[in-house]
């Protein structure tokens, strides 16, 4: 299997603060890579760098073998191949659910309106949101909003889906309805990189789990190894704290 995403020796700092330190990662096709680690360990920054929302200070990022960290690359074209879902949903509040989903297919991919709407409605139906198509986002629950946000990025048929702590802003009851979508996508073979604090969920979907600390991957391996038999003392300590918080 070819790697969809390859990251080598990436470095990123904000001012004097080093956020990503010589980090490397490979994500093969149809696999899910889960990033875990405390807040501030660099998970979100890594995802934002992959999506070119942040520029890196050193190293290289490849998408399907093409270097996307090249400053001459067309960033809009790269982002078309990447889906990104945010912790705070970031739906467009002035557009209905349907308009949120069809905006990019129409304006970015140049799909005609009818086709875009048909595709969007099919996705909404698949994830039990068909009755919300004409609602505005602020009429939806957090879980529904996040599901719409996921559908919005799926509408572009991304090569790689980046999920940045997508359940952190939700209450425990709503978390599951969002995670079940991700499980569905995983079984469809979607390639994903996700940052999460839901360790149980990580165990279910992860092909590889990476533990980040101070901008570097301290431990990586199968969910079974990293989450249930961690070798690195820092991983052990992090998981112990997660466990105490009742999240494992």
User: How far apart, in whole angstroms, are the C-alpha atoms of residue 73 and residue 79?
Assistant: 11
Bridge partner list, 161: 83, 192
DSSP string, 70-124: -TTS-HHHHHHTEEEE-TT----TTS-HHHHHHHHHHHTS---HHHHHHHHHHHH
58 vs 171, beta carbon nearer other proteins: 171
21 vs 141, beta carbon nearer other proteins: 141
212 touches 35 (CB < 8 A): yes
CB of 203 to other proteins, least distance (A): 28
Give the SS3 label for residue 65: coil
41 vs 51, beta carbon nearer other proteins: 51
Bridge partner list, 166: none
Query: Encoding tokens for residue 206?
Result: 């992860």
Give the SS3 label for residue 199: helix
Give the per-residue SS3 of 203-241: HHHCCEEEEEECCEEEEEECHHHHHHCCCCHHHHHHHHH
CB of 155 to other proteins, least distance (A): 9
CB of 211 to other proteins, least distance (A): 26
156 vs 218, beta carbon nearer other proteins: 156
CB of 95 to other proteins, least distance (A): 8
CB of 80 to other proteins, least distance (A): 4
145 vs 191, beta carbon nearer other proteins: 145
41 vs 145, beta carbon nearer other proteins: 145
CB of 216 to other proteins, least distance (A): 25
Q: By the criterion CB under 8 A, which residues form the site for other proteins?
A: 48, 51, 53, 75-77, 79-80, 82-84, 86, 88-94, 103-104, 107-108, 137-138, 142, 145, 149, 152-153, 156
């Amino acid at each position: 299997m070819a790697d969809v995403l390859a990251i080598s020796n990436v470095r990123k700092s904000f001012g004097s603060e080093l956020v990503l330190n010589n980090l490397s990662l490979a994500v093969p096709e149809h696999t899910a890579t889960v990033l875990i680690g405390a807040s501030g360990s660099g998970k979100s920054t890594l995802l934002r760098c992959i999506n070119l929302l942040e520029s890196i200070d050193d190293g290289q990022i490849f998408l399907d073998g093409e270097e996307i960290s090249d400053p001459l690359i067309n960033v809009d074209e790269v982002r078309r191949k990447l889906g990104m879902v945010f912790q705070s949903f970031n739906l467009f509040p002035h557009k209905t659910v349907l308009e949120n989903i069809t905006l990019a297919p129409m304006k970015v991919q140049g799909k005609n309106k009818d086709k875009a709407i048909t595709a969007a409605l099919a996705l909404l139906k698949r994830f039990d949101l068909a009755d919300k198509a004409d609602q505005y986002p602020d009429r939806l629950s957090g879980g529904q909003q996040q599901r719409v946000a996921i559908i919005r990025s799926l509408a572009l048929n991304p090569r790689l889906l980046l999920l940045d702590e997508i359940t952190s802003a939700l209450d425990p009851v709503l978390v599951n309805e969002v995670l079940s979508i991700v499980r569905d996508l995983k079984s469809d073979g979607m390639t994903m990189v996700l940052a999460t604090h839901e360790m149980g969920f990580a165990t279910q979907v992860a092909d590889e789990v990476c533990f980040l600390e101070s901008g570097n991957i301290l431990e990586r391996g199968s969910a079974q190894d990293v989450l249930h038999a961690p070798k690195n003392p820092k991983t052990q300590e992090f998981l112990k704290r997660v466990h105490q918080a009742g999240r494992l």
